Structure 1
């Protein structure tokens, strides 16, 4: 790097830091320290062969095995012209894009993950530090751009970017893109790792009984499904609504948390105990979040059809899904 470019980059970094809150600066410093002391890529791949765009992707060595796209790759994926690694931050700083994406996404772009990109055992020129983002951010950006375009808020000159955002959304949903990175990077997540990850949500012994389901949610289900209220107990239909709308999508686990909790109950529980009694404190927090989200969806829905459409799209991330 030339001596002329170094002061410019330093000045840009200072200007960016000046706009951040103390918490954001601390978070950025923490990420930089993680890169220096141990955040590394264990696997690397590229979207070129599968999707036709030259985008590097990585799996990191943190506990979450974070799936990452490089900063330069994010710009390439969105077809942002020129600028290499700085193309995405410059695009976000534009008035139109900034308004479309909002403050939360802009903050995430301003605070990339920094990690060592050299893969152990791979004979290749040293890469050094890589700036990148959790792959979910690409989906968030694409959704925001498409929504803004539908409202007529994007410029005509940005039509190719919006078109590319549509392509990305059509090619991969947020729940699936992590698997795409794992596959392209040659990373095989073992059965044991998956089980250990979901054990974060399930504890070894049953929890003491707590009332985790809001009566308001049941009232909304009665209304939307036209179910008669029993004098004692609840309708059998609620069992399936609870499984399909609460437990199966819990923590984006596609039913794994539910299956582990059932197994835990079968091994350690007694008849009459509830599934949620076999969730860890982490799992209970996820459950409460899920119940709150479903209650919100139910409250704003006028019909069963509208409610299930929201569940299909917002909870499962699919265009079509049939419920019993």
Structure 2
């Protein structure tokens, strides 16, 4: 091992003489020099919303509200996103065009500040990457606008729906907060969280899946199926194909085939086929779901239901599961 000399030897000796508390304090000061702004307040969405999104209020003059880099991806994309997921998403060919150079530049240049791991006995500062929360709103607005122009792909449907939910909930919570502030009403933390959760749920209802839960309840009843703890019975797959998709067109299920082909080309595992229908196809789907739900609700037995279905879909044979 190389022998320490001069100042280096003296510095090492002083470091060994310091208490652990003193060394921690020196590390904190070093981090402050390297990373600049610190955190005044820190929290997480997990307890209230069930998603692991770290959030911060920086100790700067603007008291900047920040979401961690990974948290930004989790909020917009999904609960399993990594720290680099947002960057990969925005730099995709279609999405990068939808967002534009200005938003891409902001994603590529996150805020870097110092924070610490919550719960640690002597928390050492760590470098944190994050984004001012307004960037999430800007990205959501750009995605919704691009989707309205027809610039996005069917596989982006889930993310656009999430963007709509975030925008709607944030706008309602924001205007309510403004009125409260102007009226001199100071809400508690619990009230703020409860109100936003309510708005999120309200917005989500606008983007529920095309298949009504009532239809599934009727299928459970008519076919005597037991509800599994997770997911739905495998029989529902064939009921959906034969009673919903294939009758959408006289050409032996052409609408279903086109949607399935579009999913294979543009979709991902787990995507639902109805996400890949055209606007006309979606309207036809909703009409067909309504018809089948009506038939199911007035049928007293599986046999009666299948007889009506056979008549409805131009004399096709009753389904035998």
TM bin, normalised by shorter chain, reads: 0.3 to 0.5
* TM-score using structure 2 length: 0.42
* TM-score using structure 1 length: 0.41
Greater RCO between the two (CA within 8 Å, min separation 6)? 1
